[in-house]
């Protein structure tokens, strides 16, 4: 081997390359440890330039995960993925992205949860139907929270309720009413309380109800009531306390002790109707 010039040259070149790599690595480590590259500032900004209402640097520093990992390191050796995970554990943070800014800063772009409703277990529901943990008192600063509830054994219950809420807001818009409370029962029945206190029993979707009128959806029941409501209100001249839409041919109304059944009769008179609930 020692008489093979080509092999000796190859070994020498490899040793030289290894020495250069070690030297370069040492220089880079030395540079990375220079004071000018130690992280000195963290900028927290809202997504797409939107102002942040609940997330700030003190709340981020108070996070247990961030205290554990510590906001220390240098521009070169900070682990951005671990930092992102840590930031997303901060209350009110839905998503976070972290990037370096030369030579010693981090910028954290944050998407905050937008609280929509309270959930029975103390968590909040955001506008995407996701559950998150935060101080409800802070959420109330942005406006009154709705109240949602659903089966605790259904992982997507909050998502279902949020989707139904969006639909109801559209369907009820002609009446200028909004949903304040929305509940999904264990049997998949829907109960609504509007902002004026009126209660609505929507029943189950037609595919889930053995007694439902063929092809009739919750949307059809609600829109039927919305179409008749102005005339019914004028006829009664009373505030409607509750409406039950679980009937194949109409709905039932309670108002000051009176009960209206059947869509046609509801438009004309106050009487007792017939029908089987869905």
What's the pLDDT score for residue 212?
46
Token couple for 147: 């109240």
CATH architecture of residue range(s) 115-268: 3-Layer(aba) Sandwich (3.40)
Dihedral of the alpha carbons of 167, 175, 193, 205, in degrees to the nearest 10: -40
pLDDT tens digits for range 63-92: 655 554 555 677 778 888 888 988 898 999
Q: Residue 95: phi, psi to the nearest 5?
A: -140, 150
Upstream peptide bond of 159 is cis (omega within 30 degrees of 0): no
Domain ranges of the chain: 5-32, 36-111, 115-268
Superfamily name with CATH number, domain 36-111: membrane protein fhac (3.10.20.310)
What's the pLDDT score for residue 76?
77
| 240 has a pLDDT exceeding 60 | yes
Q: What does 121-136 look like in DSSP terms, one character per residue?
A: TS-EEETTS-EE---H
| 237 has a pLDDT exceeding 50 | yes
**pTM for the full predicted model:** 0.77
Question: Mean pLDDT across the chain, nearest whole number?
Answer: 81
Residue partners of 128: CB distance under 8 A and separation at least 6: 94, 159, 162
Q: 153 vs 227, which has greater pLDDT?
A: 227
What's the pLDDT score for residue 164?
98
């Amino acid at each position: 081997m020692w008489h093979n010039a080509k092999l000796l040259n190859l070994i020498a070149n490899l040793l030289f390359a290894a020495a250069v790599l070690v030297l370069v690595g040492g220089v880079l480590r030395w540079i990375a440890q220079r004071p000018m590259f130690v992280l000195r500032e963290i900028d927290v900004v809202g997504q797409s330039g939107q102002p942040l209402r609940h997330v700030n640097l003190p709340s981020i520093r108070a996070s247990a995960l961030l205290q554990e990992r510590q906001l220390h390191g240098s521009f070169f050796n900070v682990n951005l993925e671990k930092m992102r995970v840590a930031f997303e554990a901060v209350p009110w943070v839905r998503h976070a992205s972290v990037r370096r800014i030369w030579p010693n800063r981090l910028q954290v772009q944050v998407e905050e949860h937008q609280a929509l409703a309270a959930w029975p277990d103390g968590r909040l529901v955001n506008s995407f139907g996701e559950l998150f943990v935060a101080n409800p008192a802070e959420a109330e600063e942005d406006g009154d929270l709705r109240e949602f509830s659903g089966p605790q054994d259904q992982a997507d219950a909050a998502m279902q309720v949020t989707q139904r809420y969006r639909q109801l807001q559209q369907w009820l818009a002609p009446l200028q009413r909004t949903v304040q409370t929305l509940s999904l029962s264990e049997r998949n029945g829907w109960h609504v309380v509007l902002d004026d206190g009126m209660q609505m029993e929507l029943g189950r979707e037609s595919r889930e109800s053995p007694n439902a009128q063929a092809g009739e959806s919750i949307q059809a029941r609600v829109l039927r009531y919305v179409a008749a409501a102005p005339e019914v209100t004028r006829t009664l001249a009373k505030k409607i306390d509750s409406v039950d839409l679980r009937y194949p041919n109409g709905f039932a109304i309670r108002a000051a002790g009176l009960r209206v059944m059947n869509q046609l009769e509801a438009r004309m008179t106050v009487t007792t109707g017939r029908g089987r609930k869905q």
